[in-house]
Amino acid sequence: MASRANKGKETYPRKGVVESLPILEFNAAHMRPAYEVVAWLRALEHYTKAEFGSIGAIFEMDQARARYPSGPGIPAAQEPENWREREFARLQIQAYAEWHKHTTLVREKICGLIVGQLSRTSLDVLETMSAWKDLTAAGNDPLEMKKLIVVMHMTPVGASDMKRKTFARARFQETAMENGETIEQFRERFSAAVMVMALVQEAGMEEERIAEEFLQNVAVGKYEEAVRNAANTGRALATVNEVVQYLQTYHYATNTSSKTFAIRAQSSSISQDTPVVKPCGICKKKGHYARTCPLKTKDKGTNDSKLVLELRKEIESLKAEMEKMATKSEASGQRPREGHTKFADWAKHRGDDESRESSGTDSEE
């Protein structure tokens, strides 16, 4: 029971004035994660835009757009020259008065909404700040309220202005895309880091520099290919929106290239391991080419070459003699002996093989 009582405020936070909107918690041990602060701001932005119109832009992440909408013009100070100018000036003053009254009421409502969507621990810390006391007393500047709340939740509490600036700069430089994080999720964290730097009045960066930092910090996983291509081609990306669009529409070929490389490597391996099918041009046997044939002789004048030629001549003469004997036997009506017939056939085929080997050797040389 004691532990539940100690953790009661954080475990059971009070409900906000709008139950469908999140409550921003505060923990003295560490700053709130950027995505929690961003989710809180996004929820208030959508709600206020739907309820009160364009003034909801004060919750946008981009500080260049986070400002109050401009109202109708005020008539010039000089006296109108005719009744038309006087009537026009009267209508202008009336429109401005109505707009100012409406805007003041809306600002007070948004201030109440902001306070109502903070946890008790967040309010306890804010109430120790003189700037917060002044804002709540006036109750008509929700934009400055938002800035103070974001800085308090995303920088060390009680730190000096210089330490806040140093902290914000370090957090920005450490912001990088994580594995498994989508481009939109990283964009929210990156935008939060940029926003905090602007709120603590750290030296701001131009939009092109911010886009360049975003592109370099997103070089993880498949996006690394697109980042490398942008660097090699000198592609100019002026805003974070252009970077996100470029990354989402880039034709990634990493997987295809890997498959193609694997197929080529496999094909190369097959071509090296596949045995030779074409027969040798010298010995007519398979398993090697003519240039590696063991019967090939580089020096035509060696004794082996002369021996081969003599054997060929003997085979040719023996073949002719056996053919004559076969012809005489047929003429006399006698059947040649079986041994003679087999030898004659062998001599005939051997002579044909030798003639083919001779032609193959000539072509190889």
Residue of 159 and 315 predicted with greater confidence: 159
Q: How confident is the model at residue 129 (pLDDT cuts 50, 70, 90)?
A: very high
Instruction: State mean pLDDT over 306-311.
Output: 65
Q: What is the pLDDT of residue 349?
A: 56
How confident is the model at residue 62, as a pLDDT? 83
How far is CA 245 from each of CA 66, 190, 215, 241, rounded to the nearest angstrom?
A: 23, 16, 11, 6
| 254 pLDDT above the threshold of 70 | no
What pLDDT sits at residue 40? 94
Range with the poorest average pLDDT among 39-48, 104-113, 137-146, 196-205:
196-205
Backbone angles phi and psi of 316, in degrees to 5: -65, -45
Listed ranges 121-135, 256-270, 292-306, 323-337; the one with the highest mean pLDDT? 121-135
How far apart CA 11 and CA 294 sit, in angstroms, is 88
* Higher-pLDDT residue of 128, 352: 128
Q: Specify the range with the lowest mean pLDDT, choosing from 117-126, 139-148, 197-206, 288-297.
A: 288-297
DSSP assignments along 149-205, one per residue: HHHHHHS-TT--HHHHHHHHHHHHHH--PPTT--HHHHHHHHHHHHHHHHHTTPPP-
Closest CA to 103 of 45, 56, 64: 56
Q: Helix or strand or coil: residue 24? A: strand
The mean-pLDDT minimum among 247-251, 284-288, 346-350 falls in 346-350
Higher pLDDT, 129 or 254: 129
Count how many Cα atoms sit within 13 Å of the Cα of residue 189 in the half-sphere of its side chain: 19
Torsion of CA 287, 290, 295, 296, to 10 degrees: -160
Q: Which of 36-45, 71-80, 123-132, 135-144 has the lowest mean pLDDT?
A: 71-80
Spatial contact of 177 and 202, defined as CB atoms under 8 Å apart: no
Whether residue 320 contacts residue 351, with contact meaning beta carbons closer than 8 Å, is answered with no
Confidence at 180, pLDDT banded by 50, 70, 90: confident
**277 confidence band (pLDDT: 50, 70, 90):** low
pLDDT at 6: 40
What does the pLDDT average to over 295-324? 65
In whole angstroms, what is the distance from residue 172 CA to residue 213 CA?
10
**Binning pLDDT at 50, 70 and 90, where does residue 309 land?**
low
With beta carbons less than 8 A apart as the criterion, state whether 18 and 117 touch.
Answer: yes
Work out the widest C-alpha separation in the chain, in whole angstroms: 151
The owner of tokens 């070089």 is 219
pLDDT the model gives residue 283: 73
What's the pLDDT at 107?
A: 96
* Among 304, 324, 318, 303, residue whose Cα is nearest residue 351: 318
Mean pLDDT of the chain: 77
Q: Lowest mean pLDDT: which of 70-84, 108-122, 234-248?
A: 70-84
Mean pLDDT value of segment 347-365? 52
**Using 50, 70 and 90 to split pLDDT, how confident is the model at 1?**
very low
- Per cent of the chain over pLDDT 70 is 71
Q: Which pLDDT value is given to residue 355?
A: 52
Average of per-residue pLDDT across 176-184 = 87
